[in-house]
Structure 1
Amino acid sequence: MLPHSQQGHGPITFVLMHFLGGSHRTWGPTIPFLDREHTCIALNTPGFGDAHAIGGYSVEEMADQVDASIRQLGLERCILVGHSMTGKVAVVLASRRPDYLHGLVLVAPSPPGPQPMSDEDRAQQRAYTASREEAEAFVDDSSHHRLPEPLREVAIADAQAVNLDAWRAWVDHGSREDWQPRIGSLPYPALLVCGADDAQVPGAQEQQRTTLSHFPDSTLLTLPGAGHLMPLQTPLALAKPMLEFAHRIAARTPEGDR
C-alpha cells in the first residue's frame, strides 16, 4: 500500500495525488477546506515523499499501485484528484472503470498524450540533481507567484527528497507515453482546473481539446492569479469548486448505488 495521510469523514472520499516532486504534503493547505464534509486520502506516489523507496514509475505501474491502495483501504464512492503528473495517472486509472470511482478532479493535469515540452526544457529537467538551489528554482518556476515562506519550504523539502530514478522515469518515459487511443469516452463527471498563470502544462483551450475530449460530462475552470501549484498557492479557491463538484456527485450517487 502506498504511504498516505487520512483526514475527515463524509459521503465522498477525495483520493488526492500530487505533482512531480510533491508528496501528500502538497495537499496540506487544501485539505482543511475539504475534510469537514468529506474524507481525504492524500497519497505518496512511487518515488516521492514517504514512498521514496517504492518502485514502479511508469504510468501503468503508478495506476496499479493507486488502485491497489484504494482497494486495500476499502474505499467506496471516490473522486480521484490528479495534480499535474498524476492527472495522467488518474485518467488512465479511470479508463479501467473501477467500481469505486464516481468522478475526477484534474488540477493542471499532464495530458493523456505526450506532454508538450521542448528538447531543451526536457534536458534541463532531466539534469535535476535535487540540490537546494535547483529545488528552489523548480518550486518558484512552478508556482509563478512566490509561495508563502512556510509552504515554500515544504515544497522545497519535497523536491529535494525525490527519488531521482522516479523523477527521470517521468521525464524520459511517463510524460512521453501516449494513452489517448486506449482511453476512449469515459462515463465519469470531470472537473478540470487550470491556473491562469501556469506555464508548466497545456492551457485551458488545449486541455479542452485533449484531456476533456474523453469526458462528455466535464467542467473547465481557470483560477485567476494561480500558477501550477494550486493546492499550495490557492487552496481555498481550489477547494470551493471541488466541494461543489463533490456535492453534485453525492447527490447523484446515493450510497450503494452507481
Structure 2
Amino acid sequence: MLTVLALHYWAGSGREYEAVRALLPATVRLLAPDLPGFGKQPVPPGFDFSVAHYADWLAGFIADNKMAEFTLLGHSMGGKIALALAARRPAGLRQLVLLAPSPPTPEPITDAARSAALAAFGQAAEAEKTFRNITEKPLAEALHRLVVADNLCCTRPAWEAWLERGSREDISALMATLAVPCSVLVGANDRAITSETQQQQTLPWLPATTRLRVEPATGHLLPLEVPALVAALALQSFK
C-alpha cells in the first residue's frame, strides 16, 4: 500500500496531520507517529534524542509497518530528522517533502530565544504565546487547543535535548547522498524559521532540482494552516 510517513514539529505530535489525512484518497495511508519524548510516545531505553537516534527509531518504524513505497514528510524538527533518514536511502522512499524544515546546518536560534524556550517548558501561558507566534492563518478553536495541549505534554528531556543539541546538529555532510525528488514548502510569514533561512541554509544542500514554494499569508504550522496544499505535495510521487 502507498504510504505517507509524516514527522511532526518540536513540541508537537502526529496529531497535526489529521486534516491532511482526511484529504488523502483511501488508497493512500498516512502514518504520523509521535516521536520519542513527544505526544504519547515513550522514550526507548538508551535513546539520546540525537537526530541519528530518531532516524534509527524511524527505520524500525518503517520495517514494522512494512512500507514498500512511501513519501516522507518532515515538518520543522521533523524536517531535519527526515533529511537524516532520507540520506540513508531507505528502500521504497519515493519523495521527500520538507515543511518549514529545521535546516541541515545548525538552526539559527539566538541565545536569548533558546534560554526563553528552555524556561517555557510546561507553562500554559508560554504555550499560548508559542501558538500565536507560529501561526498566521486563523485556526479553529479545537486546533488551537490541540497545539497547546501537545506543547504541554512533551517530556522535559526531549524538549531540552532539541533546543540544546538537536537544533544545533550539523548534518550537511550527509546531504550528498540524497537521491530522491525533494520539495520544500514554507510560509511567507513564518517567524520560527524564515523563508530567508530556508533559502540560505536548506536549499543549498538539496538536489538542484528541488522545488521551493513560499505560501503567502501563512505561518509555521503548515499541516494545520494549509492542509490541502500539504496533501497535494504528499501525493506528487504517487501520480
1:240 paired residue number: 232
1:27 paired residue number: 17
Matches within 5 A, 1:62-101: 62-101=54-93
Q: TM-score w.r.t. structure 2 length?
A: 0.92
2:29 paired residue number: 39
**Given the alignment, which residue of 171, 174, 178 partners 1:179?**
171
What's the CA shift string for 1:176-198, capped at 9, x where partnerless?
00111232152210111001110
Give 1:53 deviation, angstroms. 4.1
- Give the AA of the match of 2:144: R
What's the CA shift string for 1:127-181, capped at 9, x where partnerless?
1221221111112211134422110001111111000110100000000001112
Distance 1:26 1:39, change over 3 A: same
Give, in whole Å, the separation in 2 of the partners of 1:185 and 1:208: 20
Give 1:211 deviation, angstroms. 2.2
For structure 1, which runs of at least 5 residues remain unmatched after alignment? 1-10, 252-258
2:194 paired residue number: 202
1:138 paired residue number: 130
Give 1:56 deviation, angstroms. 3.8
What's the CA shift string for 1:218-245, capped at 9, x where partnerless?
11111122110111122123323333x2
Q: Which runs of 4+ in 1 moved over 6 A?
A: none
**Given the alignment, which residue of 205, 209, 220 partners 1:217?**
209
Percentage of pairs with the same residue: 33
Give, in whole Å, the separation in 2 of the partners of 1:169 and 1:35: 37
Q: Does structure 1 conserve the Cα–Cα contact (< 8 Å) formed by 2:71 and 2:234?
A: no
The alignment status of 1:49 with 2:22, answered yes or no, reads no
- Give the AA of the match of 2:129: A
1:250 paired residue number: 238
**Given the alignment, which residue of 218, 221, 237 partners 1:229?**
221
1:148 paired residue number: 140
Q: Does structure 2 conserve the Cα–Cα contact (< 8 Å) formed by 1:46 and 1:56?
A: no
Q: Does structure 2 conserve the Cα–Cα contact (< 8 Å) formed by 1:128 and 1:134?
A: yes
What's the CA shift string for 1:25-57, capped at 9, x where partnerless?
111111111243421111110100111444441
Q: Does structure 2 conserve the Cα–Cα contact (< 8 Å) formed by 1:52 and 1:162?
A: no
Matches within 5 A, 1:158-173: 158-173=150-165
Give, in whole Å, the separation in 2 of the partners of 1:56 and 1:50: 18
What's the CA shift string for 1:59-110, capped at 9, x where partnerless?
1111110111001111111111000001000001111111121110100000
Q: Does structure 1 conserve the Cα–Cα contact (< 8 Å) formed by 2:5 and 2:31?
A: yes
Aligned residues: 236
Q: CA RMSD in A?
A: 1.7
- Give the AA of the match of 2:213: L
Greater relative contact order structure (CA < 8 Å, 6+ sep): 2
Give, in whole Å, the separation in 2 of the partners of 1:147 and 1:199: 17
The alignment status of 1:58 with 2:50, answered yes or no, reads yes
Q: Does structure 2 conserve the Cα–Cα contact (< 8 Å) formed by 1:103 and 1:190?
A: yes
1:124 paired residue number: 116
- Give the AA of the match of 1:70: I
